[in-house]
Structure 1
Amino acid sequence: MRHALIELCTDFLSAIVFFVLTLATGSAALGSALAIAVAIAQLVHARMQGRPLNFMTQASLALVVVLGAITLLTDDPRFMFAKPAIGHFAVGLIMLKRGWMLRYVPAIVTDNIPGAVTVAGYAWAALMFALGLGTIAVALTGDLKMWALYISVVAVGAKIAAFAIQFVTFRVLVRRRIRAARVAAGGRPGLLGLQLL
């Protein structure tokens, strides 16, 4: 878990630098310039260590450099504000692959409700597209505080809520399926299978 958190922070370090500096100074140009510098420093550091960068890190760094440069040239922070939308759209496209979620759920779920898992995968894709569109809509306002609220509260909150809804739904569906299977087999709908959840 710690390793995954470090990788995630590494992937988004330059975006975090942009966000913090722009919020602290009110200057999108300063935030963009330092975000580009951090992205380039991350790339150089990884190359000096002989460490390959994964696709997500490379894509994130490239987006910071390109969108940061456009922000500097136009003095318009909306380009950097739109960066998370690109990430949401990319993840949404990946989530359109049928059954992508099957490898992320426990066997008891895949064994009992594989169709529901597939539907949930498409629901996650729809959520990513909706959050991406919301990010663009908020970015177009150019309001840093509104963008920060949307990215940190709305986008994160929507994902947490979706995960909670999915967890409860899967739990209820699996319990029903196990109970129905026990009854169909002539046994009592006991708690043995239900305790696995």
Structure 2
Amino acid sequence: MKDVFARLASDFLSTIVFLVIYLVTDNIILATSLAVAGAIAQVIYARVKGKALGYMTYASLALVIVLGTATILTQDPRFVLAKPSIAHFAIGAIMLKPGWMLRYMPARVTDVIPEYVTAAGYAWAVLMFVLGAGTIAVAWTGDLKLWAFYVSVVAVGAKIVAFAIQYVIFRIIITSRLRAAARA
């Protein structure tokens, strides 16, 4: 569980840096510049440490650089504000692969209810697409404070609620199946 949150924090580090710097300074250029620099530094650090970097890491870096540069050159924050939506769409597309979630589940879950894990994977994909569309809608307004609220509270909150619902449902189904198997 701790590893999953560490991966998520790593994946969204540039967005977190952007958000914090912007909220503290109210300076879009500074926040964007530091987010781009942070993304580059993160990849360099991982390479120096010999960590293998996946496709999503490089795709995220490219998005940060391209959209960050567009934001800096045009001084229009909507470019960088769109980045989380692109990430949500890309992650949603990856989540459409059947069984993607199995590797993140404990053995008890994958042994007892693998078909529910696959269904939950599709539900997560839908959630990512909805959050991506919401991010674009909010970014289009150009209201940075609304966007900051959306990506830091609404999007994160939706994922926490979805995780909690999934956890409870999985527990109920696993308990039910194990009791039924014990009776049989």
Deviation above 3 Å: which 4+ runs of structure 1? 1-14, 37-47, 49-53
Structure 2 unpaired stretches of 5+: none
User: CA 1:111–1:62 in structure 2 vs 1: closer, same or farther (change >3 Å)?
Assistant: same
Distance change in 2, residues 1:29/1:123 (3 Å): same
CA contact (8 A) 1:86 1:132 kept: yes
- Flag structure 1 segments of 5+ consecutive residues without an equivalent: 186-197
Contact 2:46 2:53 in 1 (8 A): no
| Closer, same or farther: CA 54–113 of 1 in aligned 2, 3 Å | same
3-state SS of 1:162 partner: helix
Structure 1 partner of 2:33: 33
The 10-residue stretch of structure 1 (13-22 or 145-154) with the greater mean CA deviation from structure 2: 13-22
What's the TM-score, normalizing by structure 1?
0.80
- Show the counterpart of 2:96: 96
In our comparison, the structure showing a higher alpha carbon Rg is 1
The CA distance in 2 between the partners of 1:60 and 1:9, in whole Å, is 13
TM-score, normalised relative to structure 2: 0.85
Question: Map of 1:144-163 to 2, 5 A cutoff?
Answer: 144-163=144-163
| 1:72-118 CA-partner distances (Å, limit 9, x unpaired) | 22211011111111111111111111111222222322232222111
How far apart in 1 are the matches of 2:122 and 2:132? 15
Match of 2:93, SS state, is helix
Instruction: Please tell me whether the aligned partners of residues 109 and 174 of structure 2 are also in contact (alpha carbons under 8 angstroms).
Output: yes
Say if 1:134 and 1:182 are closer, same or farther in 2 by CA, change over 3 A.
same
Partner of 1:59: 59
Give the match's secondary structure for 1:82: helix
The answer (yes or no) to whether the contact 2:14–2:35 under 8 Å persists in 1 is: yes
The residue aligned with 1:134 is 134
Range that drifts further, 95-104 or 26-35: 26-35
Q: Matched residues in 1 for 2:107 and 2:3: separation?
A: 25
Which segment is superposed worse, 139-148 or 26-35? 26-35
The offset of 1:9, in angstroms, is: 4.6
**Paired residue for 2:86?**
86
> Is the 8 Å Cα contact of residues 89 and 128 (structure 2) preserved in structure 1?
yes
CA contact (8 A) 2:91 2:125 kept: yes
State the alpha-carbon separation in 2 of the partners of residues 101 and 146 from structure 1. 32
Q: Is the 8 A contact 1:23 1:144 kept in 2?
A: no
Q: How many residues align?
A: 183
Q: What amino acid maps onto 1:21 in structure 2? A: I
Distance 1:82 1:106 in 2: 34
Identity of aligned residues (%): 62
RMSD over equivalenced CA pairs, Å:
2.5
Supply the distance in 2 between the matched residues of 1:153 and 1:119 (Cα, whole angstroms): 26
Query: Is the 1:18–1:32 contact (alpha carbons within 8 Å) kept by the matching residues of 2?
Result: yes
